Amino acid sequence: LIPTIEEVPPYLDFLVEGDIEANHFIPKHPFILEAVWAYFLGEGGTVEINIYADVARSWPHAKTTHYWPEEDVIYAGGRFDVPADAGWVRFELSEPLIFLPHEHFWIGYRHLDASPYLGLGNPTDEAELTQSMYYSDKRHDRFVWDVPGGVFMLRAEGKHFCKRETTWFTDATDSAGLSDLTHMRTAFGDVDGDGYDDLLLHLAHDGTVADSARLFKNNGDGTFTDITSEAGLTGFYSNLAAIADFDNDGDEDIYLGVYIPQDEDFEDHGKRSTILENDGTGHFTEVADAGVGYEGTTSAVAVADFDGDSYLDLFVGNWLIEYPQPPSICDWLFFGNGDLTFTDVSDMLTDQECRPCYGAEAADYDNDGDMDIFVANYGRTDNYLWENRGDSFVDVAPQRGVAYHVPGTGGNTFSAAWEDYDCDGDLDLYLAEIAHPRYQPSSDPSSFNVNSGPPDFEFEDMREDLGIPWDEGEIEVSFVDFDNDGDLDLMLSDLYMLHFARLFRQNDDGKFEEVTYLAGIDVHEATNHAWSDIDRDGDLDLVITHRRSDVPNRVRLYINEIGTDNHWLAIKLVGTDSNRDAVGARAYLTACGKTQMRHVKSSRGHFGSQSTLVLHFGLGDCTEIESLDIKWPSGLEQSFDDLEVDNYYILEEGSEPEFWTL
């Protein structure tokens, strides 16, 4: 740290005994902490230095007056006398401490008097990223960020060890042709029908409105080509998107959702949500009067066949009318007519209250054969779980245990992901929440809701038991078996400074461990992500976006290098009596005595991210498949027992599976 301010800091007049100044540390590699340095100014006196555990990757786990009564001190450094204007003072640890890259820690100076106080500085170019917070019992009753003039002059001295030599994923952004993009939302879909998922990017943050939707063709060799103009997408704006075959003609159309601010200062750009028709070659034309061009604070979309007529429908979520005030625009439900137009049936959402939606995902949570809708709501409001009753949708979130976790307060739910993580035949639900318990102590943190199954289909939050520490900035979540070991893993996009995307691997005991460092995924302030096997080698690759303004390219492509170490099976389902994309279909694969379930789903989560429609199963070292059972949305059930591992198959409803070669 380079000293920048040595005069009395502006908050010195309210520092009292017990107040804390602290710095946040995140090791880039495994790290041995051997000593602490602190730069003291002012009168001499006795100082107390401690090393604190981290809470939610946001503040030190230090005792404060009433919002955080407990304390987790990793190392009590003791008390020391320092002279006036001492400058840098080194405190050697009696025993070194070891931190892994995902183990954040804080070095804190607890005041025994107002002085001495810490100097402020700016990190050198060689310093690792850090931030400062301070707690003042006299001015604040919580830790706050507003440290003027830089960061507290506290240093962690030590050495890295066991640095990774290789990573499980390779950053292929530049070589793939995805450089210099400012988009923050992603959707995969095979728009030209060549068997490779193409990439639709939306919500550009370069100050423009036109041309914010960009379409990149997957060339099949690990590279992408911008075909926005050739595809007819020039000039289209979108905050979110869903790629789906809305007319069952065998090619993927696009829903583009547009967020329309409602404040008086908004200059209307004239863009509205719309449907784009695919001509079969990947060229799109806007559908006139599609029936979805409403003016709202559109923030989420879920696609499924809710009425069972074989045509895909749309649930569209809306956010606050004007942040941060509570009034919101109600959500909309549109049934597809099969001709790329839609009918508003929002009144089927029984007794809907207008709550600020930030994410949605459709799934058959109760195994009754029809598609339900989970709605992630913001602003400390209750979530919705719209249970499909055929002629209406009824909110059962309170009865099922997913409306909130702290009664009467709710949370800020951004995203939801449904998957059968424990292979018991029903869908479990992870909810990604932004939570600020420093000043909103009752705000819900993220939750891992395990489905009890029949007859009640109630949910119990098991996140802590499953070993997943929560992050204050979680906004996006997905389940994925990235290493093809047969167990579903978990990916999280985390917002805010010093918050990074995280990858968790599920172990044999069903618990999770963070493996972001070994994976080599390094994305700060992540906003969105999606999975697809872009090179068709049998494992799922990752596109992830972020909002860092100081990093020009906000899109990153990570190629999976570890998944092919295990066996796998991939299957593309094509509906005939069901919707063509087979959204809502379930596949049960049994191999080596274990049955896994996957379900076909379209867009999900916060501002609509979308992974591949192809179902991927990891098989570990298993080389024989006992059976594959399919339950189609139409009600048809099929069973097969002659599939070979390490292959792509395509299965049309009512037919036999065929090898899917390109």
Domain end marker among 160, 191, 211? 160
Predicted structure pTM score: 0.94
Q: Does a structural domain hold residue 10?
A: no
Q: Does a structural domain hold residue 141?
A: yes
pLDDT at 262: 86
Q: Does a structural domain hold residue 1?
A: no
CB 633 within 8 A of CB 305: yes
Residues of the chain falling short of pLDDT 70: 1-14, 63-70, 123-130, 136-142, 145-149, 204-211, 407-408, 437-439, 441
Q: pLDDT per residue over 504-563, tens digit each?
A: 999 999 999 999 999 999 999 999 999 999 999 999 999 999 988 777 778 999 999 999
Q: pLDDT per residue over 334-351, tens digit each?
A: 999 999 999 999 999 999
CB 431 within 8 A of CB 475: no
Structural domain total, the chain: 3
Residues 6+ apart with CB under 8 A from 445: 56, 405, 411, 433, 435, 437, 463, 470
473 and 593, same domain (yes or no): no
Strands of 555-560's sheet in order across = 169-171, 555-560, 541-546, 526-532
CB 173 within 8 A of CB 553: yes
> What are 271's two structure tokens?
């863009």
pLDDT at 18: 83
372 and 477, same domain (yes or no): yes
CATH number of the domain bearing residue 497: 2.130.10.10
Domain end marker among 501, 534, 569? 569
Sign of CA dihedral 64, 66, 67, 72: positive
Phi, psi dihedrals of residue 487, rounded to the nearest 5°: -115, 135
461 and 579, same domain (yes or no): no
Q: Does a structural domain hold residue 103?
A: yes
Q: What residues make up the domain containing 527?
A: 169-569
Phi, psi dihedrals of residue 481, rounded to the nearest 5°: -95, 80
Rg of the chain on CA atoms, in Å? 26
CB 112 within 8 A of CB 16: no
431 and 534, same domain (yes or no): yes
Residues 6+ apart with CB under 8 A from 386: 349, 372, 373, 374, 375, 393, 394, 395
Domain end marker among 538, 569, 600? 569
Instruction: Tell me how far the alpha carbon of residue 18 is from its chain's centroid.
Output: 37
DSSP count for the chain of H helices, then E strands: 2, 51
Say if strands 20-25 and 130-135 run parallel, antiparallel, or are unpaired: antiparallel
pLDDT at 456: 96
What is the DSSP track for 42-75?
SS-EEEEEEEEEEETTTEE----SSS-----EEE
